[in-house]
Structure 1
Amino acid sequence: MKITIVCAGRVKEKYLRDGIAEYEKRLRPYADIRTAEIGEERMREKPSPAEKTEVLRREGARLLAQVPQGAYLIVLDVAGRAYTSKELAAQMDALALAGRSSVAYLIGGPFGLSDEVRRAADVRLSFSHFTLPHQLIRLFLVEQIYRSFKISRGEPYHL
């Protein structure tokens, strides 16, 4: 399976970069994983609603341009559906059985997601109702993808 993680911004903290790198290394036997990063859009401190919408639209268009053609798009969205680890693994299995060999996960920037990105999603996935830093979500995401493969193959991993 080919997995692409599309995200706004770079991970700045070394401990997060190290954690992400560790799970990407663990994933290599299971999937071809790559990350496509775009620069975050800038927004002034107190934007008008129209300015915020426009910034999110521009960033969203740049994010969507990084999604591989034909990929099943899973957008991480606080307003999305929460899955258990077993449900995520089952969804990945169902995609593989349906011949969907390319999956893209999209993580927006610190200002959220545009309506266009939400509409483009095949699935909107929530990790929590908490607002979490998008850089931390990248670590959570690669760990959950790895966990999904372990669950699907019946290999030991703490549940």
Structure 2
Amino acid sequence: MRLHLITVGEPKLAYARAGWDEYEKRLRRYHKLQVSRVSGKTQALESEAVRRAAGRAPLILLDPRGPQFTSEGLAAFLEARALGGDGELAFAVGGPDGHTDELRAGASALWSLGQLTLPHDLAMVVLVEALYRASTITAGEPYHRG
């Protein structure tokens, strides 16, 4: 499956950049990966840039209004989408103000990383690590021991 990771900006803190780079590299062993970094001066422009970057791919927005997944649940979600014919999924981390109502309304799904508010840089790292962990679960590899 092809995964398209869309972020508003890129990790700026050294720990986040290192974490993103590490898990992006690992994730590429399981999926064709595309990364898009978008920007905009307003929430509306950021959301429009995310929508354009996603193109025709089903868009999954990281948003606190969405359901949470266990690691196994995320693996099952990805597998179901692949078996359902989705050859590509786009995942988007919004800017500091999140996504617009219009972008949420047009999204294929919402996904909440939890009830905690995470710094933008950390949310990006959690996204890519969670996708990697789900991929190792699907592959039956020992990374996930929960």
- The answer to whether the Cα contact below 8 Å between 2:39 and 2:49 also exists between their aligned partners in 1 is no
Report the equivalent of 1:146: 132
Of the candidates 62, 65, 70, which is equivalent to residue 79 of structure 1? Answer: 65
> Identity over aligned residues, as a percent?
38
Secondary structure of 1:33's counterpart equals: strand
Q: Distance in 1 between the 2:78 and 2:92 partners?
A: 16
Deviation digits for residues 48-104 of structure 1, max 9, x if unmatched?
xxxxxxx322221111111032x1211000121111111110010011111211010
Deviation digits for residues 111-157 of structure 1, max 9, x if unmatched?
12100111111110000111111221110011010111111121112
- The answer to whether the Cα contact below 8 Å between 1:74 and 1:104 also exists between their aligned partners in 2 is yes
1:103 aligns with 2:89: yes
Report the equivalent of 1:117: 103
Q: Distance in 2 between the 1:111 and 1:20 partners?
A: 21
Superposition RMSD on alpha carbons, in Å? 1.2
Matching residue's letter, 1:144: A
Residue 40 of structure 1: how far off its partner (Å): 4.4
Report the equivalent of 1:46: none
- The answer to whether the Cα contact below 8 Å between 1:9 and 1:40 also exists between their aligned partners in 2 is no
What residue ranges of structure 1 are gaps of 5+ in the alignment?
A: 42-54
Q: Distance in 2 between the 1:147 and 1:156 partners?
A: 10
Range that drifts further, 72-81 or 55-64: 55-64
Moved over 3 A (4+): none
Which structure's CA Rg is the greater one? Answer: 1
Q: Distance in 2 between the 1:29 and 1:118 partners?
A: 30
In the superposition, the TM-score normalised over structure 1's length comes to: 0.86
1:128 aligns with 2:85: no
Matching residue's letter, 2:84: A
1:31 aligns with 2:31: yes
Q: Distance in 2 between the 1:28 and 1:130 partners?
A: 28
Q: Distance in 2 between the 1:61 and 1:37 partners?
A: 13
- The answer to whether the Cα contact below 8 Å between 1:40 and 1:109 also exists between their aligned partners in 2 is no
In the superposition, the TM-score normalised over structure 2's length comes to: 0.93
Aligned length in residues: 145
Secondary structure of 2:64's counterpart equals: strand
What residue ranges of structure 2 are gaps of 5+ in the alignment?
A: none
